[in-house]
Amino acid sequence: MDLRRTIKYESDRVKGFGREVMSVPGCEQLENCIQCGTCSGLCPLSIYMDHTPRQVMELTRSDFKDEVLRSTTIWLCASCYACTVECPKQIRITDIMYELKQRAIHEGFYPKRFPIPVLAQEFYRMSHKRGRVTENFLATIMFLKTNLLAALGMWRLGLNLFARGRFPLKLEGIKRRDELVRMMAVVDKLSIDALQNSQQNGGNGGGHPGAH
């Protein structure tokens, strides 16, 4: 058997990581987590996660950035919001998962050829470029980029879809693409952290994000 030391040292923490996440509008309530496990109890995918949602909450709060951003949990979240609506402390867990996904993608914290972030980014690119998404193209690209074998395994599904007219051969797109490009340019102009700050102030100024 291969043995692994599991102890954590203070130096393993990225101090301030938890605070940072909790300062994002919608994520504040994390402060109140009592580790009751309702989220994991409800999550249909928790059974496949390396850390249950509850653990991710605590790891985040305790600044174990690496564990959190490397965990499969954030990618397995299918955003069904079951945890969010049931959390007794009204922590918006799904939104926190989004926040963590974003950070993982921006900081490159995921295994090579790991399909989900690839899909997310390809989706992002395609919708960004064309204004609309054509799923079968998207899926194809994703498989090519991650796992050719799987792509081959999928040819059957492709054919079946094609046979039923559910596999369009032309890419969808919008007429005024330039419009979208200009809009996105505005967002890019604002540097991420400037946005972060304004988000925080805005979040605090703008009523009570936790309020549903």
> 85 or 144, CB closer to another protein?
85
Nearer to another protein, 11 or 108 (CB): 108
What's the min distance (Å) between Cβ of 17 and another protein? 18
In angstroms, give the least distance from the CB of 149 to another protein: 12
Q: Give 13 or 203: the residue with its C-beta nearer to another protein.
A: 203
Q: Which two tokens stand for residue 98?
A: 């989004």
Minimum gap (Å) between residue 210 Cβ and another protein: 9
Q: What is the phi-psi region of residue 35: left when phi exceeds 0, alpha when psi lies from -120 to 50, beta otherwise? A: left
What single string gives the DSSP state of each residue in 63-101? T-HHHHHH-SHHHH-----HHHHH-TT---HHHHHHHHH
Nearest to another protein of 68, 76 (CB atom): 76
92, amino acid identity: R
Provide, rounded to whole angstroms, the least separation between the CB of residue 63 and another protein: 20
Q: What are phi and psi of 49, to 5 degrees?
A: -85, 145
